[in-house]
Amino acid sequence: MKLARNDPSLPMYNTDVSRGHTFRRIRARAKHWFTTRSVLFKLCITFFVLFFIFLLVKISSRGSTKTVSTIEINEEPIIINEQIIGGPDKKKIEDEKKNNKEDPPDEIDKQIVEEKMRSDDVVKFSGPTNDRQNAVVKAFKHAWKGYKDFAWGHDTLKPISKSFSDWFDTGLTIVDGLDTAIIMGLHQEAEEATEWIQNTLNFEKDRLVNFFECTIRVLGGMMSAFHLTGNKMFLDKSVDLGDRLLSAFKSPSPIPYSDVNLKKRTATNPQWGSDSSLSEVTTVQLEYRALSRASGNSTYEDLAFNVSKHIHKIGCESHEGLCGMFINANTGQFKKGSTITFGARSDSYYEYLFKQWIQTGKSIDWLKEDYGKAMTAMEKYLYRNSEPKKMYFVGELLSGETYSPKMDHLVCFIAGTLSHGAQNGFPKKHLEMAETIGETCHNMYNNPTGLGPEIAHFNMIPGKEDLYVKPLDAHCLLRPEAIEAWFYLYRFTGDKKYQEWGWAAFEAIEKYARISTGGYSSISNVKKINVQYRDSMESFLLGETMKYLYLLLADDQTILPLDQWVFTTEGHPLPIYDH
């Protein structure tokens, strides 16, 4: 039955009774009812009342605060060789718990970089200061224009056919050449590259890329641009790429696989076999260390440096520190009977032993020791001279046993590394060796075109010419290693002959490799003046060759001082740390 509001059976609503009298009567009846109950019943009633009040207070406090919706991220971390990649940001959680505690080392590195980027220490470049430098800048712009007109956004220019080719589909020429444009003071070209990297470059590429080449050209190029400009976009892109490339370390050993699918984040051995090249697995450490120090994530440095530690641990004792060119990613062991060389597939292993020691503030003694040991062994087993003019070169041990008087153009890098080492505590003899090898590299350019061949052979028996080039080795990719060596030698000796050698090489490039419609082309035979073009302009022409020419020919040799910057194997300058 539903009662009306003024029903007489509801005393409190009876309007015939005064309001105050009604409430007193209700209170009296309630008190009488409560006092006549048992003690246990009274306790129960009291408990429920208090509990009800507690619930009301709790609900009120929730309602008075701002409601925040949270998204729970359930991203499982990936564990590679005991290193955790991805997953919840445990470091951030720990930092929030330690608000007033000292920052961890990685965070300190990150703060140092951020402070450097905010300060006046960001490198400023004034542009060319003499006619020769101006000529190199003009050549760079000619190469850039050809690439922009016919290949923009693709990996490399094909200047003869006015088209392009793609290896990784990551705009290699743009990323590899950007820091050269910055150093030359080419603001327009640098802005064009920066805009493309920021707005167009992405790494969702369902294709295999070479772990080593992608690291030194793309990751190294962006990290160098970050440190030269302070633009954090380059660091963010580097982190994205670095995360994808770390898939190479999903191998059973500390040795990474050679090829990575950037989109699927999977990795595999090279198509031609089960082994990785020594130089490829040991020449990513400078780049990944720089990425770790700038991002505050030590994973990159740890995984890359584990490779160096592994090589150090298993050693190369059969030739006193000289290692074979192949190592297996599955077993972590060197391939037996592989060639020992300072050329292709091994070269930059030795370079990065020294440069890692420099990059870490000379704080890791075994890097210095392994490098010094290898140089001593190189002198013992590989360093020889030709006849009759005594040209000194670095040969090879085929299958680890048979000496071959053959030297790749790539080997010219060692003249720069030896001279650099001589300035940092290694024997004076290293500078003397560097000078003799640097001169031999100059002799390799002594041919009808004045360009350097890919490979040279040497006579060690009197009565023949000292140096000769086989037809299949006579092509020229416009490589940088000889010019790189002369750059270091000029920095450390001040001998202007190195500038003259570099200028002569540049003039040969202009005369025989320049394509009038834009760009430069590799050529098929340096011994023929009627050149045949290979229709390819490698990204390292802009990333290294023209950069080293520009720096070699500079009036001011304090640009990018070598006690503050270390150049990667792809010619990208990165900062030196104190640890």
* Structure tokens that stand for 127 in this block: 């542009």
Q: Reply yes or no on whether 204 is catalytic.
A: no
Q: Reply yes or no on whether 114 is catalytic.
A: no
Ramachandran angles phi, psi of 554, nearest 5°: -70, 145
Q: For 326, how many CA atoms within 13 A lie in the half-sphere containing its CB? A: 16
Q: How far is the C-alpha of 147 from the C-alpha of 538, rounded, in Å? A: 11
Q: Minimal CA–CA distance to 463: which of 387, 393, 391? A: 387
* Structure tokens that stand for 566 in this block: 């270390």
Q: For residue 388, is the peptide bond before it cis, meaning its omega torsion is within 30 degrees of 0?
A: yes
Q: How far is the C-alpha of 463 from the C-alpha of 510, rounded, in Å? A: 35
Tokens 């007489």, located at residue: 8
Tokens 């090249």, located at residue: 277
Q: Reply yes or no on whether 454 is catalytic.
A: yes
Contacts of 325 (CB under 8 A, 6+ apart): 277, 278, 279, 338, 339, 340, 341, 345, 346
Helix (H) or strand (E) holding 398: strand 396-398
Q: Specify the amino acid at residue 126.
A: S
Q: How far is CA 527 from CA 179, 504, 512, in A?
A: 33, 16, 11
Contact 515, 461 (CB under 8 A): no
Catalytic residue among 189, 243, 280, 347: 347
Q: Minimal CA–CA distance to 544: which of 481, 494, 475? A: 481
Q: How far is the C-alpha of 473 from the C-alpha of 408, rounded, in Å? A: 9
Q: Reply yes or no on whether 96 is catalytic.
A: no
Q: For 579, how many CA atoms within 13 A lie in the half-sphere containing its CB? A: 7
Contact 269, 277 (CB under 8 A): no
Catalytic residue among 176, 259, 435, 454: 454
* Structure tokens that stand for 291 in this block: 């990425």
Helix, strand and coil content of the chain, in percent to the nearest 5, comes to 50, 10, 40
Q: How far is the C-alpha of 378 from the C-alpha of 399, rounded, in Å? A: 16
Contact 454, 472 (CB under 8 A): no
User: Which residues are bridge partners to 383 per DSSP?
Assistant: 394
Q: How far is the C-alpha of 194 from the C-alpha of 230, rounded, in Å? A: 12
Contact 509, 519 (CB under 8 A): no
Catalytic residue among 481, 484, 538, 570: 481
Residue 436 labeled ligand binder: no
Known binding site: residues? Answer: 569
Give me the active site residues, please. Answer: 213, 347, 454, 481
Known binding site for Ca(2+): residues? Answer: 569
